[in-house]
Each structure stands twice: as C-alpha cells, then as structure tokens.
Amino acid sequence: MVRWTEELASREAAAGTGVTSFSVDPGFVNTTMAGQTSKFWTKLACEDEGREGAPCPVPSNQGALTPTFLALAPDVTASSGKYFEWCAEAPLTHCIDSIKDMAGQTCALGAAEDKTALWNLSAEWVKGWTDPITAVEPLPMEQQDASLFTCPKILQPLCNIVKTPLCFMKCIPQLKACIADKECRASLATSGECTAKHQGASANDQLKCLVPDNKLRDDFFLCAMDTNPCIPLPHDNTSYPACRETNITGDSTFLPEHVVGDWWKLQGWTAGEQYECRPCGKVNFWDAPQNPHQDTNTVVISSTWLEKDFNNKSWTMNDTSFFGPRPDHKGYPVHMEHYGEMYGLSYLENFTVVHDGTAEAEPFVFMYGCGGTKQGTYVTGFVLGKTPVASATLQARIDQVAVANGFGTKQWCKVDNSCSETQQMLN
C-alpha cells in the first residue's frame, strides 16, 4: 500500500498537474483510542513503527507533525511524490506482504497494470473535488447534512433543544466574535445552560437567563432567536389592554430635542409592560446624526435599570436604541417610534407623546406606547422627570395629565430610585 501511494504521488507530480503531493507515515498516535487497545496490539504496532529511537505510540501533539511540516516547509516541491517519515524523506524497503512469513510472495499491486487501474479508479473518485476550496460554492443551508455539523461545546446545551444545530451556522460571525472575548464566552456558556434548563418557563422567566447583559452575547442571541428561528421562543401570554393611541390627542408642541439630557423614570403604568417599574430607572437622550433612518429628528435613548437574574441577584442593565419620527413622519411630532434590540430580540414601539412638560417649572414627559417583539405585542406607559422622586407638586401635575387622558391615578407604580442616594455618595 505504501509503495502504491508513493507511485500514485510520483505519477501525479510527473504528470505536471501543478499539485504537490506526498505520502507520509501517520504512525500509531497516542489518542484516547490508543488507550483502548491491548498490550499485544501496541507491541505489534510498534515492532516496525517509525525510525529508531522514535516514540511509539506517537504523542498526540505530534500526530500531524509530518503533514504540517510538508505544508509549511520552503522549497519542498522538488520532493513531490516522495515518502516522508518524521519530517524527512525515508526509503521504501518492502511492501506490506513482503514480511518474513510471506517471503517469496509478490507484493500487492506490484504489476504496472494494477497500479494504473487503481490510479484511474482513484482519479474517478476525486473527479470534481480537486478545485481550490475558495472556488466551491457552499451548499444552501437547507441542503446541508445536519450530521456533518459538530456542535461546539459552548453551545451543547442549546444544541440539545433546537430542531437542527445547523441553524447556528447562520450565526458563525457572531459566535466567533463572542468566543474570542473572555467575558462573552463565559456569559454565553452560562446563558445557554440556563436557557436549556428553563426551556418550559414563562417568557419573562426565560429572559432572566440573559441577565446580566453582554453586547457580543446578545448579538449572537439576536441572530439565533430573532433573525433566525434557531432557539425556540416562548410566547408572552400576558394579557394587556388594547392599544389606544388613536384616542389620545397627544402634545403637538413636542420636539425630540426637548428631551435631550438626563432623566429619571418616575413611574410606570402597571396595566402595561412591567419593565417600566424596574428599580433605578435612568434615561439619557442625545442627538443621533447617524441612525438607521438617517432622520435628523431622531435621538439616541439610553436606559439603565436594575434587573434580577435566576439567583435573585440584581444587575445594572442597559438598552441603547433610537427614538424618532415614524416612516414619512406620519403623525409627527405627537406620534414617534422607538426601535432597537434588547435581550436578544428586536422590538418596535409606536409612542404617543401624551404631554411634553419639559418647559414647566418641574420638567416631566408623559409617554404611552404600543409595541411588539417576536414574543408578542404589549402596551406601555411611563413618566420621566429630572429628579429621582417627584415632589408633591409635580405628582399632582402628573396625576392631572393622567386623568385628562383616561389613565387615572391608581394603575401606576412609583419607581424605586433610592439607588440615586448611593450614587450621590460615591460622586
């Protein structure tokens, strides 16, 4: 067999194909499989294995030593078609059936016609597969064989709950970026295990698996949950009131530049999304000359709040997104839209500026929105102010606006912004 391999390589080199090829002795490599063989097999395999003094079995970190050498060594083309062992050209002294017990026998494939027949058969097998890899068009995802995909260890818990791990191949760039970052790698491993463990939990509980947040990790989950339906998403079965933006007049004096600066979230509408009631809610707006819609009336909105993970530990979360006019400025400036990505999901929220009180003695802004993600639709409402807690005067003003717009005063939470005292002590 070795002689045929050398002959095959030599013929290819002589044929002027431009392909450099060699035959090498792979050796008996000390892998986990080697540890399962008998002592007799080890003795038999090592009797005639390698050059004198060479280790047998070959250490696992040297198993590919010779092929690597041949791939990288300069000026090795002149030796194309030769037989190599331990990074050096080696002589061929016998074929596999010329050992003592078969003395006088003819080597297999010794005849020229047999070599030619095997050559032609091999050429037929590899026909169409000899082009450079870069020239081969990848198969469409749906035509690839799932059995060929090896799930990375870091994704193993997630691979166990998806229909086909092949789906993750669509997110290779995001996965590579995450694995290359130490913090993201650890976060992805923890989040994956948590997601698999709590697969049957509610939508809100499953989102705890993504606490604390990590931008690179969330980019991967956005690809695997939102852009591509790899990881199954629970549906949010929370019952919300119907969206009522059409019967809210809104404040036509509002302009996005009015909210630029720092704000505290004072209260949230409890009939809507409970996210607005999370502790320590801070919101900051600034100009967004660069934004997806290329609209000069768009601002960046960056929110922070405290969120609990499955171990009941609180973490500071962040969502930085965009707040601006709806397409074609429809309903502007009363009607705005808020869009971005959070918890690995994209969202779009259609907001109504219920009241712009930015010019009042105690500035505040009253917002109402109807939004949605792939988990479902929801409504939301909140009030922003310049202080962590509303004064009695400001609270009375907020209540007045709430009642005038049909929200009443009972379905509101007061956001716990006591974290501001700690922050002031540290400053």
Identify the bridge partners of residue 316 per DSSP, sorted by sequence position: 306
CA distance 373 to 42: 61
Residue 402's pLDDT is what?
98
Closest CA to 204 of 287, 55, 308: 308
Name every residue whose Cβ is closer than 8 Å to that of residue 99 and which is 6 or more positions away in sequence.
Answer: none
For 245-426, CATH gives 2.40.128.20
Residue-by-residue DSSP string for 265-325: EEEEETTS-GGGG-SS-EEEEEE-SS-TT--TT-EEEEEEEEEE-TTS-EEEEEEEEEEEE
Q: What is the pLDDT of residue 10?
A: 41
pLDDT at position 133 is 44
Return the H-helix or E-strand segment holding 216.
Answer: helix 215-221
How far are the Cα atoms of 110, 134, 280, 304, 388 from residue 314, in angstroms, in the given order?
75, 48, 11, 12, 19
CATH 2.40.128.20 residue window(s) in the chain:
245-426
Instruction: Profile the chain (427 residues) by mean pLDDT over runs of 10 residues.
Output: 36 46 68 64 64 70 75 75 75 55 56 74 69 46 58 90 87 93 95 92 88 96 94 87 96 98 98 95 96 95 96 95 97 98 96 98 98 94 98 98 97 94 42
d(CA 17, CA 31): 36
CA-CA distance, 422 to 427, in Å (whole number)?
Answer: 9
